[in-house]
């Protein structure tokens, strides 16, 4: 339970679902963990620190990175997990909904990397894990903006990985399949049943199964892993 002792980790979108499980798993492995989400109310994390951060806000990122560096001196792990979905197909998608999804899922990931990477370079390295999706590589009908942004996360991660490889800043994307969270609970039951029925293991995944992959990528066990796509999807993309 000490795979991350001495490391400082920041997790976005950690108020619930996958992000919360990631924050809890990083903490359990010994990382000083800072959980963030848009909510200004601390969602009772116990020993895990919490601070509000809207990933689409440059001002918020600068404040949070400054606060973490002042308090702890370094940031070793950044998990860009915050994400939202809009279900509309391309020809019905409103500009406002497109922009919201892009701001959170794509610009948010880019801003996080931009604000944290200079410090990781100065301190001699770090690990960034960007949460994409199976929908970053494959498509189902609808959710056009979500697909666009998750594909962007996949390729932004590869660009950052090769750009900062010699500075020991590792950047990987993680691609969950269908995971039971408040996000998927809010989806139409028939959509959920369809995706699960198409999953070779025949079941939904759980947030802790994604968190386990994040812990590996964050740890020194993954010291030669950068630019990779870790797929945790019950076999969905293998078809
Ligand atoms: P979730 O249950 O809806 O949780 C999303 C979290 O992100 C919440 O804590 C939310 O809190 C936060 N958030 C939303 N917008 C934000 C913003 N602008 N700035 C900061 N935080 C924000 O979703 P989830 O299912 O755990 O998904 C987590 C990630 O996994 C997302 O990137 C999602 O696309 C990806 N993913 C999920 C699945 C799945 O099946 N569940 C599959 C593939 C990929 P606030 O609203 O309080 O800010």
**pLDDT for 65-88, tens place per residue?**
999 999 999 999 999 999 999 988
- 181 Cα–ligand 1 center, Å: 9
Percent of the chain topping pLDDT 70: 100
Q: Which of 146, 149, 138, 131 is nearest to 236 (CA)?
A: 138
Q: What whole-number distance in Å separates Cα of residue 7 and Cα of residue 21? A: 18
- 193 Cα–ligand 1 center, Å: 20
Q: What whole-number distance in Å separates Cα of residue 195 and Cα of residue 103? A: 26
In 65-125, which ranges are E strands? 77-80
Indicate whether residue 219 lines ligand 1 (CB < 6 A): no
Asked if the model's pLDDT at residue 42 lies above 90, the reply is no
Atom number, ligand 1, closest to the C-alpha of residue 131: 32
- 222 pLDDT band, cuts 50/70/90, is very high
Compute the average pLDDT of residues 122-127.
Answer: 98
Backbone φ/ψ region at 196: left (φ over 0), alpha (ψ -120 to 50), beta: alpha
Asked if the model's pLDDT at residue 46 lies above 90, the reply is no
Compute the average pLDDT of residues 131-149.
Answer: 95
In 53-156, which ranges are E strands? 77-80, 126-131
Return the residue whose CA atom lies nearest to atom 31 of ligand 1: 83
Q: In this structure, what token pair is assigned to residue 208?
A: 């802790």
Cα end-to-end distance, the chain, whole Å: 35
User: Which residue has 């995706």 as its token pair?
Assistant: 195
- 154 pLDDT band, cuts 50/70/90, is very high
Asked if the model's pLDDT at residue 141 lies above 90, the reply is no
Q: Catalytic annotation on 146? A: yes
């Amino acid at each position: 339970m000490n795979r991350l002792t001495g490391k400082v980790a920041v997790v976005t979108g950690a108020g619930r679902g996958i992000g919360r499980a990631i924050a809890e798993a990083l903490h359990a492995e010994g990382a000083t963990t800072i959980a963030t989400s848009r909510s200004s109310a601390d969602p009772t994390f116990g020993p895990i620190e919490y601070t509000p951060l809207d990933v689409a806000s440059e001002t918020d990122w600068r404040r949070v990175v400054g606060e973490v560096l002042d308090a702890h001196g370094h940031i070793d792990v950044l998990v860009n997990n915050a994400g939202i979905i809009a279900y509309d197909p391309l020809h019905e998608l409103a500009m406002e909904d497109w922009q919201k999804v892009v701001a959170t899922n794509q610009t948010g990931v880019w801003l996080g990397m931009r604000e944290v990477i200079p410090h990781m370079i100065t301190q001699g390295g770090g690990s960034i894990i960007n949460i994409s999706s199976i929908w970053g590589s494959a498509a189902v009908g609808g959710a056009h903006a979500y697909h666009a942004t998750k594909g962007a996360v996949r390729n932004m991660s590869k660009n950052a990985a090769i750009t900062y490889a010699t500075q020991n800043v590792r950047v990987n994307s993680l691609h969950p399949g269908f995971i039971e969270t408040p996000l998927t609970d809010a989806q139409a039951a028939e959509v959920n049943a369809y995706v699960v029925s198409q999953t070779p293991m025949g079941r939904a995944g759980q947030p802790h199964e994604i968190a386990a992959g994040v812990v590996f990528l964050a740890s020194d066990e993954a010291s030669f892993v950068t630019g990779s796509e870790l797929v945790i999807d019950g076999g969905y993309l293998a078809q």
